[in-house]
Amino acid sequence: MTSAAVRVTGVIEASAPGKLFLLGEYAVLHGAPALLTAVDRRARVTVVVPDAADAANDAGWRFTAPAIGIAECSLQSDGALPPTLDDDTRARLRVFDAVRRVVAKSVASAPPGLTVTVDSAAFWHRDHKLGLGSSAAVAAALTAALAAAHGLSLTQEELVRRATDAHRRAQGGTGSGGDVAASCSGGLITFTREWGAAAGPRLMPQHWPDDLELRVVATGAGSSSTELVGRVAEYGRRDPRGHAADLDRLAALAGQAGPALASADTFLALAEDYFDALIDLDHHAGAGIVTDRHHWLRTLVAANGGVFKTSGAGGGDVGLVFARAGAGARRVASALHEAGVETIPLGFGGPGAQLADSRGRGADDDGDRIDTEGAS
């Protein structure tokens, strides 16, 4: 994200990538680091700012987001949701409204007559949404675009803070913020959540080992991250000691993520250990993080020299397959293909939130990539 807002003849275009949690799930909610990568499925936001002569002071905003079923919604002159809006549409506009409120706190008044379009279709696969952090990507791109429309110039740190604030508001205060951070920064990062009103998250860029490959596979129907996290929290209320022991184990492993990237062997061993710890947490919590299909995939991948683990809250959507580059990765890929397991075509480690420059470029510039043989 550049520090200067970019305006092109009244049209502002911003985009931000989705993400994958590679390690640190659940532990990150309690202060442990998490390892995340940006993916090449991007949320795209276009804001048309009319010339002052073309927009009356009381002209309302228009909002369109086809992927969430909103063909066009008329809003108030500052973008606020009209009081007559039905509950279903209001719920679909949670992220937009939270971003609008956060951006509005930094300006005296909002420009009237904006037309806002959000395209998150890239996060859908066949008939369901993939667990790639679409709402976080939308929050990041919307924050960048609306800030520019209001004449604000944000540093990456400011973008992370504001987009995280908005996303947490939209989610009712839940979540670590790691997904938003990855959408804003792009690349491969370790993320640590900081506590306190003045604290911000810590992001550290990481380097993917040359001898390690990653692919993403379909693991079933999607699941509610909020529900899964809620069940783990309920386990903490039911058995505080057991919950603390499980989270301490996960946190100790998550802390090794950065050093483990030194080689494929060290990372594969850590990923295996982390998934073991997640399985134990899930068994104790009865949350449904790890499904029967996950166990089957783990056995299949392990028999061919790789490591499988869930990504994020678990429970469905997508899974991660790690393997040594070269012959090892090809053997795992062949086994998955023969078993009928679908690989989701994804690129990894690309750029974070961006505003297009005057030539319309910016959102698709190449970034460092994680090796993913046959997956793009």
The CATH number of 11-207+349-355 is: 3.30.230.10
Residue 333 confidence (pLDDT): 98
358 contacts 6 by C-beta, under 8 angstroms: yes
The yes or no reply on domain 212-344 and CATH 3.30.70.890 is yes
Kindly indicate the confidence band of residue 221, based on its pLDDT and cuts at 50, 70 and 90: low
Nearest to 267 by CA among 246, 282, 253, 279: 253
Nearest to 369 by CA among 348, 346, 338: 348
What is the H or E stretch that residue 254 is in? helix 240-254
pLDDT at 228 over 70: yes
pLDDT at 43 over 70: yes
- With both helix axes pointing from N to C terminus, report the angle between 94-104 and 134-149 in degrees, rounded to the nearest 10: 40
Domain with CATH 3.30.70.890 in the chain: 212-344
Domain with CATH 3.30.230.10 in the chain: 11-207+349-355
Average pLDDT rounded to a whole number, residues 173-191? 93
- With both helix axes pointing from N to C terminus, report the angle between 178-185 and 134-149 in degrees, rounded to the nearest 10: 60
Q: What is the pLDDT of residues 283-341, one digit of tens each?
A: 999 999 999 999 999 999 999 999 999 998 887 689 999 999 999 999 999 999 999 99
